[in-house]
Structure 1
């Protein structure tokens, strides 16, 4: 991003009445917090402001530079290159990226651990948890406040709007089955199940309770002045657009058996410090899966997804390795639940 004396410039995709526009915005320090302002509407194609005279050269149209100067923004060509990098011709982008490799170190490189921790204390817990999942893909996040983490530096010295811009770009890489676990982790919904053995496996929890806690946390966040710092006040208690998109994402996706299996396997491998890739296996027959969960085929046919989850939780707790159970039995139980949950999903279509 463009960094200039307590301000950064970035491109933000914003919806207007006539469609999506790219707006050049600035995060700046004011009144003890980071705020943002619009610098220039670039329309629907930022590349229109890049001129290619020939060869591998390029420059920016004068009106872009004039708009920055009119707003009092100090800038350098290298800084604008970074902002417009995604919109450069692919060949030229590769060249620019190659020359940027090994460039100037991060401005935080010279900070001591104590100084960096002090800077990161100002980051919101919601942001830390979001970034941790996007970086590590883990629901169990551990403690993020006891020491500084380099991966959090990307959020420092940014307005709330620019931080959301960073997350929207990263969230676009999430696969469908990762969306709900991501939001479950970001809102720390596992804290509502402190004694539950499967609190970090949301697909195995009571779905109605998880939904209720999700909405409760979204409402808390919507009223949190620390999260909304630097933004204009909104009247009528309406949900902020930053959070509306998460409600849409949450209810447009589901907790899947694949996510449950991945979380279970990752936790099991991580706790034992070794890795063996899972072997591809054929689908487990329904009668075998029912037998492992201790139910009959007739009972399975009349069960709701919620009843099936309860049945799985009872069996899983009995076999969980952390409570002295057999890990092979626990994995078989999880696979059985995965297969039956998948069958329930197919029967709804």
Structure 2
């Protein structure tokens, strides 16, 4: 059982829904009770901390075969209680929780069949904060246990609740990681630093990933996605638009400076130093055309011979030696 919301003419309406199995490993959502825009109408506070729920609401949950409906409603509508009531109830809220132990073989099989890869990526990021999803196989399968037997609608509301821990500065990393957008980029830092990548390209690849997910029947199970992009998927476009960059880290500044430098800097073209034909003949003993026609081996042999003659340590002319070395370096690069 979970609480769903729906926007109608700018007003938020609340509905209590459950997941119903329609086929093996296929679940659909079903509305049990419409709370309207104000769920507070369906409970009263008695003796400062005792919550009494509406009889019609309890009856609807009993008809849906919800066990201990009052306790479930207390968890579901906890956020609507007055703050002083919340503080009192927190003292007793989690006392009945028991350790569920390791996964059974049946649960492991259900996880393999029911949990979509996008769900696993979301769990992996929310648990470890890892943009690089190359070690997704290390995700503890116990993290997937709450998703067993849930419809797509219930799962999306589950993740919506989990995503409340994300700050606006983490939105870009989150959508980049869960839709595996790094596969579209060739930069060496693409797997871990999406902030340094072009935002418009990330947005374009995200829209394409959402379009494909809209058509993925294994993702929606027994739900109908519709022709237009589903509101559950529109949520991730909203995340990308509302991303607020955090204070730049050293890695981000380094990557941005590196990219900017590669875009602006160009190695200057190496040109053969100019020398008059007479000086060229004086240095090398051959003409420019003859020198350019030589192989690398012949050029090196001649250079070493002339270097012994022109080197300043051997009593040669320092200026001519420098010109000769520049000409040799330029010709060797060709």
Q: In terms of mean alpha carbon deviation, does 201-210 or 68-77 score higher?
A: 68-77
Q: What's 2:84 paired with?
A: 91
Q: What's 1:103 paired with?
A: 96
Map Cα deviations across residues 293-313 of structure 1 (whole Å, 9 max, x no partner): 9xxxxxxxxxxx9xx673267
Which segments of 5 or more consecutive residues in structure 2 lack a partner in the other structure?
A: 265-334
State the distance in 2 between where 1:102 and 1:150 align.
Answer: 21
State the distance in 1 between where 2:181 and 2:188 align.
Answer: 12
Which has the larger Rg?
2
State the distance in 2 between where 1:197 and 1:160 align.
Answer: 33
Equivalent position SS for 1:36: strand
For 1:1-349, list aligned pairs within 5 A: 9-17=1-9, 19-32=11-24, 33-71=26-64, 73-106=66-99, 108-112=100-104, 114-121=105-112, 122-145=114-137, 148-193=140-185, 196-232=188-224, 234=226, 237-253=227-243, 256=245, 258=247, 261=249, 264=251, 310-311=259-260
Which segments of 5 or more consecutive residues in structure 1 lack a partner in the other structure?
A: 1-8, 266-288, 294-304, 316-349
State the distance in 1 between where 2:116 and 2:151 align.
Answer: 12
Shift of 1:213: 1.8
Q: What's 2:286 paired with?
A: none
Contact 2:133 2:180 in 1 (8 A): no
Calculate the TM-score normalised by the size of structure 1: 0.65
Map Cα deviations across residues 144-187 of structure 1 (whole Å, 9 max, x no partner): 34664333323222111111111222333322211111100110
Q: 1:233 to 1:126 in 2, by over 3 A?
A: closer
State the distance in 1 between where 2:13 and 2:258 align.
Answer: 44
Calculate the TM-score normalised by the size of structure 2: 0.68
Q: What's 2:279 paired with?
A: none
Shift of 1:11: 1.1
Contact 1:203 1:257 in 2 (8 A): no
State the distance in 2 between where 1:133 and 1:14 align.
Answer: 27
Map Cα deviations across residues 231-262 of structure 1 (whole Å, 9 max, x no partner): 1252xx421221122223323436x363x628
State the distance in 2 between where 1:110 and 1:133 align.
Answer: 22
State the distance in 2 between where 1:63 and 1:313 align.
Answer: 68
State the distance in 2 between where 1:184 and 1:137 align.
Answer: 12
Equivalent position SS for 2:221: coil
Number of equivalences: 262
Q: 1:217 to 1:48 in 2, by over 3 A?
A: same
Contact 1:206 1:309 in 2 (8 A): no
RMSD of aligned residue pairs (Cα, Å) = 3.0
State the distance in 2 between where 1:132 and 1:94 align.
Answer: 32
Equivalent position SS for 1:184: helix
Q: 1:233 to 1:208 in 2, by over 3 A?
A: closer
